[in-house]
Amino acid sequence: MTEKNLKAALRNLSESAFDFLERSIEEIKDRPKYSVIHFATAVELLLKARLMREHWTLVVERASDVTLDNFLSGQCKTVTQGDAIKRLNGACNENISKDAVAQFAKIAAHRNQMIHFFHEAGTTKAGQAMIEGIVKEQCLSWYYLERLLSDWGDQFEEFDTKIATVRWRMKQNRAFLSVAFDRLKPKIEADSKAGTAFQDCSGCGYEAAAVTELSDVLFEKHCRVCGLVEAYIEIPCPDECGEVLHIEPDFGSHTCEECGHIVTSEELADVLDTEYSDPTDFETPMNCAMCSGYHSVVQHHDTFICTECLATSDSAPLCEWCNERQIGGGDMEFSYHSGCEFCEGQAGWTKDD
Tell me the number of residues near Zn ion by CB under 5 A.
29
Judge contact between 222 and 229, C-beta under 8 A: yes
Considering only the stretches 28-36, 55-63, 156-164, 236-244, report the one whose residues sit in contact with Zn ion under the rule CB under 5 A.
236-244
Distance set, CA 58 to CA 133, 155, 195 (Å): 34, 16, 52
The full length of the chain comes to 353
Residue 193 Cβ vs Zn ion, minimum distance, rounded to whole Å: 21
β 244-247/297-300 pair status: unpaired
Residue 140 Cβ vs Zn ion, minimum distance, rounded to whole Å: 8
DSSP states along 54-96: H-GGGGBSSGGG--HHHHHTT-SPBPPHHHHHHHHHHTT----
CA-to-CA distance for 172 and 285, rounded, in angstroms? 46
DSSP state at residue 251: S
49 binds Zn ion (CB under 5 A): no
At how many degrees (to 10) do helices 2-27 and 160-173 cross? 20
- Helices and strands per DSSP (H, E), number in the chain: 11, 12
At how many degrees (to 10) do helices 124-151 and 98-117 cross? 140
Residue 121 three-state SS: coil
Q: Which is nearer to Zn ion, 59 or 306 (CB)?
A: 306
Q: Which is nearer to Zn ion, 135 or 322 (CB)?
A: 322
Handedness of CA 45, 50, 52, 53 (dihedral sign): positive
316 binds Zn ion (CB under 5 A): no
229 binds Zn ion (CB under 5 A): no
Tell me the β-bridge partners of 60.
Answer: 78
Residue 44 Cβ vs Zn ion, minimum distance, rounded to whole Å: 24
Considering only the stretches 62-70, 121-129, 162-170, 320-328, report the one whose residues sit in contact with Zn ion under the rule CB under 5 A.
320-328
237 binds Zn ion (CB under 5 A): yes
50 binds Zn ion (CB under 5 A): no
Which of 40, 306, 316, 332 lies at the binding interface for Zn ion (CB under 5 A)? 306
CA-to-CA distance for 46 and 50, rounded, in angstroms? 6
| Alpha helices by DSSP H, 93-176 | 98-117, 124-151, 160-173
DSSP state at residue 241: S
Which of 188, 223, 235, 316 lies at the binding interface for Zn ion (CB under 5 A)? 223
Residue 169 Cβ vs Zn ion, minimum distance, rounded to whole Å: 17
Which of 46, 290, 305, 332 lies at the binding interface for Zn ion (CB under 5 A)? 290
Residue 221 Cβ vs Zn ion, minimum distance, rounded to whole Å: 9
- Spell out, one character per residue from 240 to 279, where the chain touches Zn ion: x when CB under 5 A holds, - when not: -x-x------------x-xx-x------------------
Which of 166, 268, 288, 332 lies at the binding interface for Zn ion (CB under 5 A)? 288
302 binds Zn ion (CB under 5 A): no
Which of 15, 26, 191, 239 lies at the binding interface for Zn ion (CB under 5 A)? 239
Residue 59 Cβ vs Zn ion, minimum distance, rounded to whole Å: 27
Residue 126 Cβ vs Zn ion, minimum distance, rounded to whole Å: 23
Q: Which residues bind Zn ion (CB under 5 A)?
A: 201, 203-204, 223, 225-226, 228, 237, 239, 241, 243, 256, 258-259, 261, 288, 290-291, 293, 306, 308-309, 311, 319, 321-322, 339-340, 343
